[in-house]
Amino acid sequence: MNDAQDQVDLADADVVKTRLAAGETEVFSFDVAERMLDGEHPVVVLREHRRFTIRELAEVAGVSPSHLSGIESGKTPGSSDVMARIAAALRVPSDLLAER
């Protein structure tokens, strides 16, 4: 790696530290990250991380449990509005819920 890239990486790390200190973001455990990297649907992983049942998350997000189940299984796409409500209920940015 070159010095310029090292400086960019250090600046990025400082931004993350500032956001963490301000409570604007959080760090997830390795297990959470690994499950999402292994292809599990992020809504499932984050719902379980937050200790919600499907019914509880559905109620908080204002969707039916069957619709949420369909999103988690990949059978039903979630509209941007629904995904934003789920993200808000899980206290994560919407883009974190996008399947990879």
Q: Render pLDDT for 3-39 as a digit per residue (tens, 0 to 9).
A: 888 888 888 778 777 877 777 667 788 999 999 999 9
pLDDT for 63: 96
Domain boundaries, the chain: 28-97
CATH number of 28-97: 1.10.260.40
The DSSP output letter for 96 is G
* Lookup result for tokens 């997000």: 61
Rounded to an integer, what distance in angstroms lies between the CA atom of residue 47 and that of residue 36?
12
- Residue whose entry in the numeric block shows the structure tokens 């292994």: 38
The CA-based angle 10-94-73, given to 5 degrees, is 120
The confidence score (pLDDT) of residue 10 equals 84
What distance in Å separates the CA atoms of residue 43 and residue 68, rounded to the nearest whole number? 9
Whole-number pLDDT of residue 25: 67
Per-residue pLDDT for 99 more than 70? Answer: no
Does the pLDDT of residue 1 top 60, yes or no?
Answer: no
- Region 62-86 average pLDDT: 95
